[in-house]
């Protein structure tokens, strides 16, 4: 069937609500408004205000309430409008959700799912556009996932809800209108493995979320030049599926990491470092990275585009690692 990323997310919520009475959605404007990005449109009418719960603008209180409700036996889906707003709830996410199980000696697991929008590309400037999922991927005790396809938008939520521990779901803001075909029987997907979205032999492009499309477009352009790029979608940012990444790089001998986060101290740095540590003697070129410019995201379209990883940037990085092979 033809669907969108937004509709796939909505269908995942609807499916989870139907499967398990303990599941409920709460967040700012998820009910009467239909969700800031219209993900939950119509769900209030279908499930009522107890289970599609509008909250005050109190990120810390309602994320913390999600954590408490999870401890109390519910399976909350908490929606935070954007990753920038999630910083108001960082205390709850780090000091409670991620920490309680270990700090209580294994007594208190926190089965909460926290969804939020991430990323730029919509001219929303520096307080609605950052890609901070890499920060969250730094934290032991969290699982961090980034659906980049319709299948994952549809399938990651239920698996996340079945996880006994906290899962953060990062939905890239430019993906909501993504259209495509989804199998009628599409359902839960695994959260453990990265996915090879395009097979190739000459280099491995490692990416996730909003830059998967950029990377696939770059791979297409590279193919026209006779360069065969493999594209890996990490899907889960913590814990990372190293075997899939390392097997690919060991085979292609070259890697480009594409990450919309800032370069310094980033997820891309983690991938580049581990690839270098683990496949150093297989590499024919230094690992390259394509990241956002180290600036707060600007509003003006030309500046925002310049700040973000673009197809030509990925193509150039790929040419560089291939050219640097001495072949």
Partner 1 sequence: MTAPAAPAPPGSVEHRVRLLREMVRIRRFEERCVELYSAASIRGFMHLYIGEEAVAVGVMAALEADDAIVATYREHGHALARGVPASLIMAEMFGKVEGTSRGRGGSMHLFDAGRRFYGGNAIVAGGIPVAGGLALADKMLGRPGVTACFFGEGAVAEGEFHETMNLASLWDLPVLFCCENNLYAMGTALARSEAETDLAAKASAYQMPAWAVDGMDVEAVADAARRAVLHIRAGGGPVFLELRTYRFRAHSMYDPERYRDKEEVARWREQDPIPAYAARLTADGALGEGDLAALEAEAEAEVDEAIAFAEAGTLEPLDDLTRFVTSEEVAP
- Considering the rule CB under 8 A, would residue 237 count as an interface residue with partner 1? no
Which range touches partner 1 (CB under 8 A), out of 65-73, 178-186, 217-225, 263-271?
Answer: 65-73
Residue 150 carries which DSSP code? H
Residue 93 carries which DSSP code? I
**Closest separation in Å from C-beta 46 to partner 1:** 17
- Considering the rule CB under 8 A, would residue 74 count as an interface residue with partner 1? yes
Cβ neighbour number for residue 221 with a 10 Å cutoff: 16
- Considering the rule CB under 8 A, would residue 104 count as an interface residue with partner 1? yes
**Could you write out the DSSP letters of every residue in 57-89?**
S-HHHHHHHHHHHHHTT-EEEEEEEEHHHHGGG
Give me the catalytic one of 7, 28, 79, 128: 128
Nearer Cβ to partner 1 (50/185): 50
- Considering the rule CB under 8 A, would residue 141 count as an interface residue with partner 1? yes
Helical (H) or strand (E) element with 100: helix 100-103
Q: Is 300 exposed, middle or buried (0-12, 13-18, 19+ CB in 10 A)?
A: exposed
CA atoms within 13 A on the CB side of 14: 15
- Considering the rule CB under 8 A, would residue 69 count as an interface residue with partner 1? yes
C-alpha 191/C-alpha 236 separation (Å) is 6
Which range touches partner 1 (CB under 8 A), out of 158-166, 275-283, 291-299, 313-321?
Answer: 158-166
Which positions ≥6 away from 103 have C-beta within 8 Å? none
Q: Would you call 128 a catalytic residue per the annotation?
A: yes
**Closest separation in Å from C-beta 144 to partner 1:** 12
Which positions ≥6 away from 259 have C-beta within 8 Å? 131, 134, 207, 208, 211, 266, 267, 268, 271, 289, 290, 291, 292, 309
C-alpha 105/C-alpha 102 separation (Å) is 5
- Considering the rule CB under 8 A, would residue 262 count as an interface residue with partner 1? no
**Closest separation in Å from C-beta 212 to partner 1:** 26
- Considering the rule CB under 8 A, would residue 107 count as an interface residue with partner 1? yes
Q: Would you call 172 a catalytic residue per the annotation?
A: no
- Considering the rule CB under 8 A, would residue 167 count as an interface residue with partner 1? no
Q: Binding partner 1 by CB under 8 A: which of 24, 170, 176, 262?
A: 24
Token pair 């026209």: residue: 224
Which range touches partner 1 (CB under 8 A), out of 79-87, 100-108, 171-179, 272-280?
Answer: 100-108
- Considering the rule CB under 8 A, would residue 101 count as an interface residue with partner 1? yes
**Closest separation in Å from C-beta 310 to partner 1:** 37
C-alpha 250/C-alpha 266 separation (Å) is 23
- Considering the rule CB under 8 A, would residue 143 count as an interface residue with partner 1? yes
Nearer Cβ to partner 1 (132/161): 161
Taking alpha carbons only, the member of 58, 83, 215 closest to residue 149 is: 215
- Considering the rule CB under 8 A, would residue 111 count as an interface residue with partner 1? yes
- Considering the rule CB under 8 A, would residue 114 count as an interface residue with partner 1? no
- Considering the rule CB under 8 A, would residue 48 count as an interface residue with partner 1? no
Which range touches partner 1 (CB under 8 A), out of 31-39, 95-103, 250-258, 278-286?
Answer: 95-103
CB 229 within 8 A of CB 318: yes
Q: Is 278 exposed, middle or buried (0-12, 13-18, 19+ CB in 10 A)?
A: middle
List residues binding partner 1 (CB under 8 A). Answer: 22, 24, 50, 55-56, 58, 60-74, 76, 91-92, 95-96, 100-109, 111, 140-141, 143, 162-165
Tell me the catalytic residues.
59, 128
């Amino acid at each position: 069937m033809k669907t969108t990323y937004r509709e796939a997310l909505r269908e995942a919520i609807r499916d989870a609500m139907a499967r398990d009475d303990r599941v409920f959605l709460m967040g700012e404007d998820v009910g009467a408004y239909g969700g800031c990005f219209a993900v939950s449109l119509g769900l209030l009418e279908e499930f009522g205000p107890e289970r599609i719960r509008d909250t005050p603008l109190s990120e810390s209180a309602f994320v913390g309430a999600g954590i408490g409700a999870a401890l109390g036996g519910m399976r909350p889906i908490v929606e935070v409008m954007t990753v920038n707003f999630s910083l108001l709830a960082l205390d709850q996410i780090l000091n409670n959700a991620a920490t309680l199980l270990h700090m209580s000696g294994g007594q208190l697991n926190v089965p909460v799912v926290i969804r939020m929008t991430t990323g730029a590309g919509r001219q929303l400037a520096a307080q609605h556009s950052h890609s901070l999922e890499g920060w969250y991927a730094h934290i032991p005790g969290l699982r961090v996932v980034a659906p980049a396809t319709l299948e994952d938008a549809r399938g990651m939520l239920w698996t996340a809800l079945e996880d006994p521990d906290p899962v953060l779901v990062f939905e890239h803001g430019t993906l909501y209108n993504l259209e495509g075909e989804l199998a009628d029987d599409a359902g839960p997907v695994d959260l453990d493995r990265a996915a090879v979205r395009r097979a190739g032999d000459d280099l491995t492009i490692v990416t996730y979320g909003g830059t998967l499309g950029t990377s696939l477009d770059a791979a297409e352009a590279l193919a026209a030049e006779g360069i065969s790029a493999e594209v890996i979608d990490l899907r889960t940012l913590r814990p990372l599926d190293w075997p899939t990444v390392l097997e690919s790089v060991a085979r292609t001998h070259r890697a480009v990491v594409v990450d919309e986060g800032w370069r310094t101290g980033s997820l891309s740095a983690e991938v580049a470092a581990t690839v270098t540590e683990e496949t150093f003697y297989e590499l024919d070129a230094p690992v390259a990275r394509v990241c956002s410019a180290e600036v707060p995201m600007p509003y003006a379209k030309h500046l925002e585009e310049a700040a973000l990883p673009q197809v030509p940037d990925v193509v150039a990085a790929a040419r560089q690692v291939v050219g640097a092979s001495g072949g």
